[in-house]
Amino acid sequence: MKAARIHAYGEADQIRVEEAPMPVPGAGDVLVRSVAASVNPVDWKIRKGYLKTMIPYDLPLTLGWDVSGVVAAVGPGVTQWKAGDAVYSRPDIRRQGTYAEFVVVRADELAAKPATISHVEAASLPLVSITAWEALFTTAGLEAGQRVLIHAGAGGVGSIAVQLAKAKGAHVIATASKGKAGLVRSLGADEVLDLREAGAVHPDGLDVVFDTVGPAVQEPAWAGLKPGGMLVSITTPPSEERAKAEGRRAGFVFIGPNAAILRDLAGMVDAGQVRPVIGAEFGLDHAAEAQRLSEAGRVTGKIVIYTGQP
């Protein structure tokens, strides 16, 4: 089968689209014929070796950890899936990835693909949706009527976070550059601003600030939060001491697979409450180009890679 792999850590030119061994599902595994994968910043962070002390990969490594496709075969002991089922997943990043024609995924990391969208759209959702859900709901406990500031509302995580927070009934304030403000409003944001602009005023009275950008947005967040409010980050753990001193709370999320969230999300997608936002599409042969675009940090929504026929 064809796969986009690295044989050494480094820049995007390390990615080789080549023949790789057909993966074989073990006990509890499912072989998925992939129709589409999506690109997340963790893909190129792994390619560059940033996670190699945490996860000692055996190279060559197929990159990518989002997939939508069709069950091709099941391993021993798998009863909940059968050949032909349409599924989507954010599989375990410690295993071989999804920029490939086939991928083996644990049966309990899969969920039925939302019925009303294509595989290309479905592949854009798992990683960013699990992240937004765990940050906003599981960690920060966002409730209806609360005020939330979501950074980078036009990014992969932000574009889903805005929709989830709106569906919950929160008052959603999002950051985005001017050209992207219309899109972010169409996703449900009540207010859109660019805090990078000179003279921009940080919102206050916030119950939750969601940092998807980095430490620069954390410092002003403390004063914007209500007493007891939470700064939740997916980039850098906010200071616990600072949170205590300010009478606020700090949270940090590093996600893993979560099929339960993907099942709930599929219901929301099919009910029209959440829609995928796709900014760019590439063939598998252009995986390196897709990663370069992600690394440039300006993408709107998600980048998707076609890996097979629907």
Ligand X SMILES: NC(=O)c1ccc[n+]([C@@H]2O[C@H](COP(=O)([O-])OP(=O)(O)OC[C@H]3O[C@@H](n4cnc5c(N)ncnc54)[C@H](OP(=O)(O)O)[C@@H]3O)[C@@H](O)[C@H]2O)c1
Q: How far is the CB of 285 from ligand X (least distance, A)?
A: 22
| 299 lies in the binding site for ligand X (CB under 6 A) | yes
Using the minimum distance from each CB to ligand X, give the nearer residue, 71 or 160.
160
3-state helix, strand, coil in the chain (%, to 5): 30, 25, 45
**CA gap 294, 190 in Å, rounded:** 27
Work out which of 116, 145, 254, 263 binds ligand X, going by CB under 6 A: 254
Binding residues for ligand X restricted to 105-144, rule: CB under 6 A: 128, 131
**156-168 helix and 126-133 helix, angle to the nearest 10 degrees:** 50
Q: How far is the CB of 154 from ligand X (least distance, A)?
A: 4
Work out which of 166, 180, 249, 275 binds ligand X, going by CB under 6 A: 180
Q: What are phi and psi of 258, to 5 degrees?
A: -155, 90
Q: How far is the CB of 22 from ligand X (least distance, A)?
A: 30
Work out which of 42, 70, 231, 269 binds ligand X, going by CB under 6 A: 42
Using the minimum distance from each CB to ligand X, give the nearer residue, 30 or 124.
124
| 235 lies in the binding site for ligand X (CB under 6 A) | yes
Among 104, 44, 17, 33, smallest CA distance to 295 is for 44
Q: How far is the CB of 239 from ligand X (least distance, A)?
A: 17
Residues 6+ apart with CB under 8 A from 310: 35, 118, 119
Which residue, chain included where needed, has tokens 């919950």?
168
Number of residues in contact with ligand X, rule: CB under 6 A?
29
Whether 136 contacts 255, CB under 8 Å: no
**259-270 helix and 126-133 helix, angle to the nearest 10 degrees:** 100
37 token code pair:
């994968």
| 255 lies in the binding site for ligand X (CB under 6 A) | yes
What is the three-class DSSP state of 290?
helix
| 253 lies in the binding site for ligand X (CB under 6 A) | yes
Work out which of 176, 184, 266, 274 binds ligand X, going by CB under 6 A: 176
Q: How far is the CB of 255 from ligand X (least distance, A)?
A: 4
Whether 136 contacts 155, CB under 8 Å: no
Residues near ligand X, by CB under 6 A: 40-42, 128, 131, 151-152, 154-158, 175-177, 180, 196, 212-213, 234-235, 253-255, 294, 297-300
